[in-house]
Amino acid sequence: MTGHGADASAPPSPDRYLVGLIGEGITASLTPALHEGEARALGLDYEYRIFDLLELGRPAGDVGALLADARSAGFTAMNITHPCKQLVLDLVDELETDAAHLRAVNLVVFDGGRLRGYNTDWLGYRDGLVAGLPGASFRRGGQIGCGGAGAATAYALLSEGAERLDLFDADPRRADELAARMRSRFPTQVVTTLSPQQLPPAIAGASGIVHATPMGMLHHPGVAFDLDLLPPEAWVSDVVYRPLETELIREAARRGHPVLDGGRMAVGQACASLQIITGIQPDRDRMQRHFRGLISAEERSDTGKGGR
């Protein structure tokens, strides 16, 4: 398989879609409501179920058995999240090219007897970036945080033509490892890693900064870099979406920087998954409005504080 050419290779549409999510600590996930709400608006018979490994008392290594059970039970597809995205790489029959480069699968589609693995995290981030920061330059990006979300954002920025991407992580091995993978995938673009001393001048020279660490979540308050360093026209993107308005997003917007909150990526990956599963183009703006409503309701009722 090449690109994310799911449309050409998608299995025939079933009358009824049964989809699930496998991962740890996912009972508060908004993904079921997001998928089901949009599918309903599209007139589809679509059910989305959660398989929380912690609740089931199953180890991550059981993901293969859970996938086999789901296929037998007639599921159409399964989203995969932490800590199973790498484990699934060896379990699928076909791995879409970008998922292979990212070494992470967050969607498995059951196509008859075959399992197809996709990565919609990077697609979701890329689509959100393009829609949410119209006219922004992605020429020289800076990124703080090089874990799972950071791999997807780096891949998206380089796919969008960033000539240079400077990576920083509190754990330098994670930045080095991501940089090596991105250089082999994007050999004509410059990907560097930064020491703590190199971070301030890199921020000062960036067209935009992606923040991809857990800082800004309710239990990890704060901002991971000094906003005073940013050039006035630089955009700021956060992957954290609980809360939607992190301290970083609030302060960057107050200073006049174009901002992209983490909700864009969350909605984008759900939208891309739904499209691959059904072969139908969802209404991204409607999903965005739905998501914002769900987050607002969550924030009002004070639930989901620790959710990913």
Residue of 8, 4, 12, 63 whose CA lies nearest to 278? 12
Q: What is the DSSP letter of 212?
A: -
The answer to the question of residue 156 lying near ligand NAD (CB under 6 A) is no
Residue 282 and residue 30: Cα distance in Å, rounded?
A: 17
For residue 59 the two structure tokens come to 């180890």
The answer to the question of residue 95 lying near ligand NAD (CB under 6 A) is no
The answer to the question of residue 208 lying near ligand NAD (CB under 6 A) is no
Residue 273 and residue 106: Cα distance in Å, rounded?
A: 9
The answer to the question of residue 279 lying near ligand NAD (CB under 6 A) is no
How near is the Cβ of 299 to ligand NAD at its closest, in Å?
A: 15
The answer to the question of residue 150 lying near ligand NAD (CB under 6 A) is yes
Contact, 276 vs 3, CB < 8 A? no
The answer to the question of residue 83 lying near ligand NAD (CB under 6 A) is no
> Given candidates 154, 265, 271, 274, which one binds ligand NAD under the rule CB under 6 A?
265
> Given candidates 213, 246, 273, 288, which one binds ligand NAD under the rule CB under 6 A?
213
> Given candidates 77, 241, 271, 288, which one binds ligand NAD under the rule CB under 6 A?
241
Q: Of 39 and 265, which CB lies nearer to ligand NAD in the complex structure?
A: 265
Residue of 157, 90, 147, 86 whose CA lies nearest to 119? 86
* Residue 85 annotated to the active site: yes
The answer to the question of residue 14 lying near ligand NAD (CB under 6 A) is no
How near is the Cβ of 215 to ligand NAD at its closest, in Å?
A: 5
The answer to the question of residue 118 lying near ligand NAD (CB under 6 A) is no
| Dihedral angle computed from the Cα positions of residues 258, 229, 232 and 127, in that order, rounded to the nearest 10 degrees | -30
> Given candidates 239, 244, 259, 287, which one binds ligand NAD under the rule CB under 6 A?
239
How near is the Cβ of 147 to ligand NAD at its closest, in Å?
A: 2
- Measured in Å, how far apart are the chain's first and last C-alpha atoms? 30
Q: Of 170 and 297, which CB lies nearer to ligand NAD in the complex structure?
A: 170
How near is the Cβ of 14 to ligand NAD at its closest, in Å?
A: 27
Q: Tokens 């992580």: give the residue.
A: 169
Residue 182 and residue 179: Cα distance in Å, rounded?
A: 5
Residue 89 and residue 94: Cα distance in Å, rounded?
A: 9
Residues 6+ apart with CB under 8 A from 241: 261, 262, 263, 265, 266, 295
> Given candidates 20, 23, 117, 145, which one binds ligand NAD under the rule CB under 6 A?
145
The answer to the question of residue 243 lying near ligand NAD (CB under 6 A) is no
The answer to the question of residue 149 lying near ligand NAD (CB under 6 A) is yes
Phi, psi of 5 (to 5 degrees): -70, 60
The answer to the question of residue 117 lying near ligand NAD (CB under 6 A) is no
Q: Of 171 and 233, which CB lies nearer to ligand NAD in the complex structure?
A: 171
The answer to the question of residue 101 lying near ligand NAD (CB under 6 A) is no
| Residues written for the chain | 308
Collapsed DSSP state (helix, strand, coil) of residue 239 = coil
Of 4, 35, 85, 242, catalytic? 85
Residue 284 and residue 288: Cα distance in Å, rounded?
A: 6
User: Which secondary-structure segment (H or E) carries 251?
Assistant: helix 247-254
The answer to the question of residue 252 lying near ligand NAD (CB under 6 A) is no
Which residues have a catalytic role annotated?
A: 85
Binding stretches for ligand NAD (CB under 6 A) = 144-150, 169-171, 174, 212-215, 217, 224, 239-241, 262, 265-266, 269, 308
